[in-house]
A = this chain, B = another copy of it.
Amino acid sequence: MSVEAANDQGFSLDAYLPYRLSVASNAVSGLIARAYQDRFSLSIPQWRVICVLAEDGGVTQGQIVGRTMMDKVTVSRAAQELLKRHLVARTDHQADGRSHVLALTAEGSSLHAEIAPLALAYEAALISGLAPGEVALLKRLLTRLQSVAGQLAGDATQA
């Protein structure tokens, strides 16, 4: 319909999966990030670190990096801020003097317990109206995209 464009060889931005994925992710991440920031003054990396510690107990920063795909610098800065706020505690690693073991303090643990229901409520709101099978498929497909992208990047991200 456009008068002078017509350069279109069948490429449509709106239908392009990487674009759709990025736009959807930005919308969702922005929503969640603002919620954590406004109510708890937590960034998303900080919240992720708290989650890993709540799930796995005492781990090193390197282990958090391996588990979350975050950059080690991001994890380092998140951990430092959480330390300053006494939400996590650090103990020297018993077998490696370069490393430390992080764990939630009681305060950090109770903050996690406070936020988790809110996080789940956001997820529930996002998937409201979707069939359970659709959600499961969505998560599976996202994992697959991540894995394929990792392989294409020549990365060692495992399947």
- A-side residues, CB < 8 A to B, are 2-13, 15-32, 34, 44, 48, 51-58, 68-69, 103-104, 109, 112-113, 116, 119-120, 122-123, 125-130, 134-135, 137-139, 141-146, 148-150, 152-153, 157
Contact = CB atoms under 8 A, between A and B. Distances in A.
A137 B139 contact: no
Nearest to A125: B152
Contacts of A3: 57
Contact of A126 (B2, B17, B54, B139): B17
Contacts of A54: 5, 7-8, 11
A65 to B, nearest CB: 13
Contact of A4 (B6, B57, B137): B57
A55 B4 CA distance: 10
Number of copies: 2
Contacts of A56: 2, 5
Given A7-B54, A17-B135, A22-B28, 9 more contacts: A13-B48, A18-B29, A21-B24, A21-B142, A28-B145, A122-B152, A125-B148, A125-B152, A130-B141
Nearest to A44: B22
Contacts of A126: 17-18, 145, 148-149, 152
Contacts of A27: 69, 145-146, 149-150, 153, 157
